[in-house]
Amino acid sequence: MACLLEAASEKPGNVTPTRGFDDLDFTSFLLSSSILGDIFRRHAAKPVGIIIQEAVRESIKATGTNAHLGVILLLAPLASSFCKLGSLSRKAVSTTLAALTKKDAELTYKAIRSAKPGGLGKAPRQDVRKKPDVTLKEAMRLAADRDWIAHEYTTGFTITFSLGSMEMEENIEAGLPIREAVVQTFLGIMSHYPDSLISRKNEPEMALRASEEAGRILRLGGMFSPRGRKAVYEFDQAMRIGSNLLNPGTTADLTAAALFVYFMRHGYGALKGRKGIPWARES
């Protein structure tokens, strides 16, 4: 559900129901989302590396793309924590991260290589193209200064718990339709954390400019005001210049993690009766 709603929201510069890239469209996200819930349910009790490996493999098999690579990397430790420890808190996730092994790193590296993500670059130590000789958390620590997903592994998911999930809950409780709450949360995350995918594909200055624009839109009211919504549309138009080079994909992944935490804490039935989502009978 987190994957579906994140992809279904009109977030600037991302694949959405109305906008796509030359090599990736909304259908890929729908197909991937439709299988990831089952994959996580079947493998959440296993080591994090296996969860990642199986989820990436099945997602690529279904779609032929790496549509949810970043989301999988973020959700695997969260799902593992809830399954094994019965809690989805920073303390529980930190316990899960501290227990990660070299085998988790090896399986995750293989999964990332199979996904062939754009803008990967080379690392001086523990490069993903080679077999790692450290734990997955230690490997992520080496990339934490240039990638927010790695940063989450290193800090116990600071962005997800201290910003993303809190803003998601506040935006939903403030009455925004769910998909607009997703966009508002996306802008909030980007305004504090310049997108690391944009930084890898371009110069860090480009990510900083996008972050500043997200902050400006929030000051206009964001999805809560007509001026803010107009600015979101204009921001989206500007971010689509040059194909997907300005795709803030990491921010989208962090937004999906925030949604995941929301649903695991409240159940998606908490959204019944709210605007912006069609409801079938709750399972």
pLDDT tens digits, one per residue of 17-41: 999 888 889 999 999 999 999 999 9
Taking residues 85-95, what's their average pLDDT?
92
Give the pLDDT score at 275: 61
| Distance, C-alpha 93 to centroid of its chain | 16
pLDDT at 280 over 50: no
> Is the Cβ–Cβ distance between 14 and 235 less than 8 Å?
no
Give the pLDDT score at 279: 37
**Secondary structure class of 21 (helix, strand, coil):** strand
pLDDT band at 9 (very low <50, low <70, confident <90, very high): very high
Taking residues 265-281, what's their average pLDDT?
62
Instruction: Give me the chain's average pLDDT, please.
Output: 90
Sign of the Cα torsion 99, 263, 147, 159 reads: negative
**Residue boundaries of the structural domains of the chain:** 2-269
Give the pLDDT score at 56: 95
DSSP 8-state symbol, 271: G
Taking residues 45-52, what's their average pLDDT?
96
Whole-model pTM: value is 0.92
Q: Give the integer Cα–Cα distance in Å for 92 and 77.
A: 10
Taking residues 178-202, what's their average pLDDT?
96
The superfamily (CATH) of domain 2-269 is Triphosphoribosyl-dephospho-CoA protein (1.10.4200.10)
Angle, vertex CA 61, rays to CA 23 and CA 107, nearest 5: 105
Give the pLDDT score at 222: 98
